[in-house]
Amino acid sequence: MNKTWLVTGTSSGLGRGLTERLLARGDTVVATARNAAALDDLAAQHGPRLIVLTLDVTQPEAIRAAVARAFAQAGRIDVVVSNAGYGLFGATEEVTDAQIERQVATNLLGSIHLIRAVLPHLRAQGGGRIVQVSSEGGQIAYPNFSLYHATKWGIEGFVESVAQEVAPFGIDFLLVEPGPTGTGFADGLDHAAPLAAYENTPAGEVRRAIASGAFEIRGDAAKSVDAMIAMADSAAPPLRLALGSTAYESIRHALAGRLDTLERHKAVTLSADVDG
């Protein structure tokens, strides 16, 4: 049975790939992008099965208006994919106030406002599924991506809470956590002006690795899209889905380390309880 999807950030990367694959299999997609013209080729090819809306997710009122229009035009929407986002690259001291505000407004607040906007519509139709594109960076951290990680860790906590709130309405969530993937993510990074003080630090090492192309990218974009669709189609998806061997290895290592630290300091942790 064909489905109807609402997908944000569809002009490039996973959002574009997801839109192409869904249309190819016969589904209907409401696709949003800041530059709607980037989807002109798909609109010409797929006609009414592609509804294109211009949307800047840093504008809450625009999000609410676009969501209302999407449901009005498409009727029922089965899956909402919150995908719009980008990376801010630089040591925390290097990034500007304006860069920080734009990163948080896009990746974190944009996703929060989108989810808040679709919930009443999903409740009214008796349920639905929300796919939030996060990152392995929602559970681990690299130097030079502190603000990006703040948004991804933040949206994961938000989703984990909201998922419990709306489960009684037949609404569930899937957090997708890709590792480094061939999507052009690095080409879209917002770079901060480097400070010489960080040249010989882990931040400098990561900067050089990305600049030289030495930062290993194992993830395949098309396979990642296929995995996302397969899990979004499943009857009972997990709350979190890591994608790619890098994501698996890095998240597993981080979780094991946290659990080990928790257990090693158990006595001190428990000593904070009230007596008796």
What pLDDT, on a 0 to 100 scale, did the predictor assign at position 251?
98
More confident residue, 161 or 213: 161
pLDDT tier at 215, thresholds 50, 70, 90: confident
Which is nearest to 146 in space by CA: 79, 184, 99, 111? 99
Summarize the confidence of residues 208-225 as an average pLDDT. 90
Number of domains forming the structure of the chain: 1
Residue whose entry in the numeric block shows the structure tokens 């990642």:
224
- Within-domain flag for 64: yes
Portion of the chain with pLDDT greater than 70, in percent: 100
- Within-domain flag for 261: no
Summarize the confidence of residues 178-207 as an average pLDDT. 94
Neighbours of 143 (CB within 10 A): 16
Summarize the confidence of residues 77-85 as an average pLDDT. 97
Q: What is the mean pLDDT of the chain?
A: 96
Would you give the distance in Å from CA 177 to the centre of its chain?
7
Convert the pLDDT of each residue in 92-108 to its tens digit: 999 999 999 999 999 99
- Within-domain flag for 134: yes
Summarize the confidence of residues 172-181 as an average pLDDT. 96
- Within-domain flag for 8: yes
pLDDT tier at 74, thresholds 50, 70, 90: very high
- Within-domain flag for 196: yes
CATH number of the domain bearing residue 28: 3.40.50.720
The residues carrying an active-site annotation are 134, 148, 152
Domain region containing 97? 4-245
- Within-domain flag for 65: yes
What pLDDT, on a 0 to 100 scale, did the predictor assign at position 216?
84
pLDDT at residue 276 is higher than 90: no
pLDDT at residue 187 is higher than 90: no
Please state the pTM of the whole predicted model. 0.96
112 Cβ contact list (under 8 Å, min separation 6): 155, 158
pLDDT at residue 46 is higher than 80: yes
d(CA 261, CA 110): 34
Convert the pLDDT of each residue in 120-167 to its tens digit: 999 999 999 999 999 999 999 999 999 999 999 999 999 999 999 999
- Within-domain flag for 264: no
- Within-domain flag for 263: no
pLDDT tier at 214, thresholds 50, 70, 90: confident
**Tokens found for residue 179:** 């590792």
Q: What are phi and psi of 6, to 5 degrees?
A: -115, 120
What pLDDT, on a 0 to 100 scale, did the predictor assign at position 1?
79
pLDDT tier at 198, thresholds 50, 70, 90: very high
